[in-house]
Chains A and B, each alone.
Chain A
Amino acid sequence: MAAVAAGNGAFREEEGTGGDAAAPQPHAPTSAPGARLSRLPLARVKALVKADPDVTLAGQEAIFILARAAELFVETIAKDAYCCAQQGKRKTLQRRDLDNAIEAVDEFAFLEGIGRRWWKSKMQ
């Protein structure tokens, strides 16, 4: 279990700079390098889940999987957006790259119209 303790310590260092250290730390990684458990704080994910009025309860495993899925999603959309930027031969991802990716990729259709007005209305 020494590895777990060491892992926890490393996470604290990495996330301290973001100023979000107040959020509970994610679980430490297992010894296998690829099997990172989760970087997103489960408490924040839980808050999002609870925001849905139809949801009664969510198990810990469900929250964890949602956190991990959100990470995979971020990786995926960042890579897809980068393809657009590459076509423009730029080295900085811009907002428009993201918009293009959302339009181009079917799976991102649920994000269409995720402009400011839409976000504002969802948050009420």
Chain B
Amino acid sequence: MAERPEDLNLPNAVITRIIKEALPDGVSISKEARSAISRAASVFVLYATSCANNFAMKGKRKTLNASDVLSAMEEMEFQRFVTPLKEALEAYRREQKGKKEASEQKKKDKDKKTDSEEQDKSRDEDNDEDEERLEEEEQNEEEEVDN
């Protein structure tokens, strides 16, 4: 059997793990059965994609979105998937939001750090030149203006 290269198959290790966890302990699965399930899963994705795409086209959109996929599940008579999928979607969105906020916070912290370093620098210079201020007043003022 000439099978397509790996790019259209889902990884065996992951498929096997999902199957093992779904079954009771002590139950094993033959290689043929595992490979058939893996293929079935790929077909499932292809079929679901096609269904979801119909919903997207109906909505005059070119990009598949989450609700298209959920509608496809109902169309394919997999309504029982809809609730767990919605929950997973909520969790995914929270995680994405958290990631975004984390990277934005990092950026803010980075900017803050650079600013405060510059402020410290000018503060030190002011302290050193306190005694000489009367003589070099103009110089100090210039430095502060630059900052």
List B contacts of A41 (CB < 8 A). Answer: 11, 14
Number of B positions contacting A (CB below 8 A): 72
> 0/1 per residue, B15-52, Cβ < 8 Å to A?
11111011110111110110011011111111111101
> 0/1 per residue, A31-42, Cβ < 8 Å to B?
010010111110
Q: Are B33 and A61 in contact (CB under 8 A)?
A: no
Q: A70-B44, A72-B85 are in contact. Are A59 and B65 (CB under 8 A)?
A: yes
Q: Mostly helix, strand, loop or mixed at chain B's interface?
A: helix
CA distance A98 to B40 in the complex (A): 10
CA distance A48 to B14 in the complex (A): 16
Q: Are B33 and A59 in contact (CB under 8 A)?
A: no
> 0/1 per residue, A8-29, Cβ < 8 Å to B?
0000001101111001000110
Q: Mostly helix, strand, loop or mixed at chain A's interface?
A: helix
> 0/1 per residue, A57-71, Cβ < 8 Å to B?
111111011101111
Q: How many whole Å from B46's CB to the nearest CB in chain A?
A: 6
Within 8 A of A (CB), among B75-103: 76-78, 81, 84-85, 87-89, 91-96, 98-99, 102
Number of A positions contacting B (CB below 8 A): 72
Interface: B7 (CB within 8 A): yes
Q: Are B48 and A66 in contact (CB under 8 A)?
A: yes
Q: Are A64 and B13 in contact (CB under 8 A)?
A: no
Q: Are B7 and A47 in contact (CB under 8 A)?
A: yes
Q: Are A51 and B46 in contact (CB under 8 A)?
A: yes
Q: Are B7 and A44 in contact (CB under 8 A)?
A: yes
Those 7 A-B pairs whose CB atoms lie nearest each other, nearest first: A18-B13, A20-B11, A75-B22, A58-B64, A61-B66, A95-B32, A57-B63
- Interface on B for A, CB 8 Å cutoff? 1-4, 6-19, 21-24, 26-30, 32-33, 36-37, 39-50, 52-53, 62-66, 68-70, 73, 76-78, 81, 84-85, 87-89, 91-96, 98-99, 102
